Amino acid sequence: MRRLPPLNALRALEAAGRHGSFSLAAAELNVTPGAVSRQIKLLEETFDMQLFERRSGALEATEKCRDYATMLSDVFDRIETATTRLTEAESDNEIKLSASMTFTLRWMVPRMTSFHDRHPHLRLRLSGAMPPPRMSDRGEVDVYVQLGDGSRTDLAVERLLGNDLVPVCSPRLLEGGPPLETPEDLANHTLLHSMLRKQHWPHWLRAVGVDGVNGRDGNTHGSSALCYQAAIEGLGVAMAQINFVIDDIAEGRLVTPFRTIVADTESFNLIRDRTETATKVQDFAGWIHGEARTHEDRVRALTRDYKRLPAPV
């Protein structure tokens, strides 16, 4: 068992010896000069020797104290180096992805097992927040998935998924609610909106040529994921991004009363630093593009008899 002096006292001595000043040591350690003085006094009592002498109104380290402080500086430098290597080793195996909460919950999380099976040596950290991509914050995020037009020139932008739109509701709504046979019947139903996607209903209604339904009316939810859950519970008709509800449609939790899909003007893009060459990021990009291709093939197969319309001009 090692018999060592208190670490805080050693830090105070090392800083005071390096700066030649209790005040500067205190500023570095974010404590008061009095706190540094008390730590030095503790060491003097522990070692039973004087470590600093007052000369010409200033404190000066003794020769033994200077030698000891120099050795402590070397030890703390080695600890810092070891810590940096440890944390860098951890981050070398971690990929930090930022995407919207709905994309994270409804598309990424169900595929986590696939990723870990393919790359068991990598860890994926998901953030359900979607700030504007700023790759200048190195270490904060490795890759983004963002809905947009792909027009950024400062970052590498690769199309990942389309963003086709389709109305969905609970099958119970068709059985017990007002008729829902044509888009005009939406006037008699509650439209469900995502707070960040309120343009989707007007976009779809304009594409199918319906003027008698107010696409701004209805109930608004904080995210698309909440909006889809409200539809599953029979609270209204949601305008869904089909990529996020295809499993609910396939398993009967949601139905598409009009079987008409309208393309959006935006797509989901994978965004990363143009200069990024880390193998882990390349591995992730290859995996997620493969997942996206498989997913879009499945969506096309399940909706092959749907009517598809382009985005309205």
Burial category of 184 from C-beta neighbours within 10 Å (exposed 0-12, middle 13-18, buried 19 and up) = middle
Helix axes 7-19, 63-92, angle to 10 degrees: 110
Report for 6-15, 153-162, 277-286, 292-301: range of highest mean pLDDT: 292-301
Rounded to two decimals, the pTM is: 0.69
CA 299 to chain CA centroid, nearest Å = 26
SS3 306: coil
Digit-coded pLDDT (tens) for 63-96: 999 999 999 988 988 887 777 666 655 567 899 9
Report how far residue 23's alpha carbon sits from residue 262's, in angstroms, rounded to the nearest whole number: 68
In the chain, what is the greatest distance between 2 CA atoms, to the nearest angstrom? 96
Joined tokens for residue 21: 């000043």
3 state SS of 283: helix
137: confidence class by pLDDT, cuts 50, 70, 90: very low
Return the structure tokens found at 202.
Answer: 């007007």
Nearest to 271, CA basis, from 129, 132, 165, 137:
132
**b/e map of 96-119 (b: 16 or more CB within 10 Å)?**
bbbbbbbbbbbbbeebeeebeeeb
Q: Residue 302: exposed, middle, or buried by beta-carbon count in 10 A (0-12, 13-18, 19+)?
A: middle
Cα 244–chain centre separation: 18
Q: 179 with 133: CB under 8 angstroms?
A: no
Tokens of 130: 């979607």
What's the confidence (pLDDT) of residue 131? 54
Q: What is the pLDDT of residue 187?
A: 96
Assigned CATH topology for domain 93-313: D-Maltodextrin-Binding Protein; domain 2 (3.40.190)
Is the pLDDT assigned to residue 133 strictly greater than 80? no
Q: Residue with structure tokens 């999380």?
A: 109
pLDDT over threshold 50, residue 45? yes
* Helix and strand counts by DSSP (H, E) for the chain: 11, 13
Cβ atoms of 232 and 172 closer than 8 Å: no
Q: What is the mean predicted confidence (pLDDT) over 232-257?
A: 97
| Cα gap 31→25, rounded to integer Å | 8
3-state secondary structure of 259: coil
**Mean pLDDT throughout 160-170?**
97
Q: Residue 68 corresponds to which tokens in the numbers above? A: 């000891």
Residues in the chain: 313
Domains of the chain, residue spans: 7-91, 93-313
Determine contact, residues 94/125, Cβ cutoff 8 Å.
Answer: yes
User: Residue 2's pLDDT band (boundaries 50, 70, 90)?
Assistant: confident
Element (H, E) at 15: helix 7-19
CATH number of 7-91: 1.10.10.10
| Strand 123-127 to 237-241 pairing | unpaired
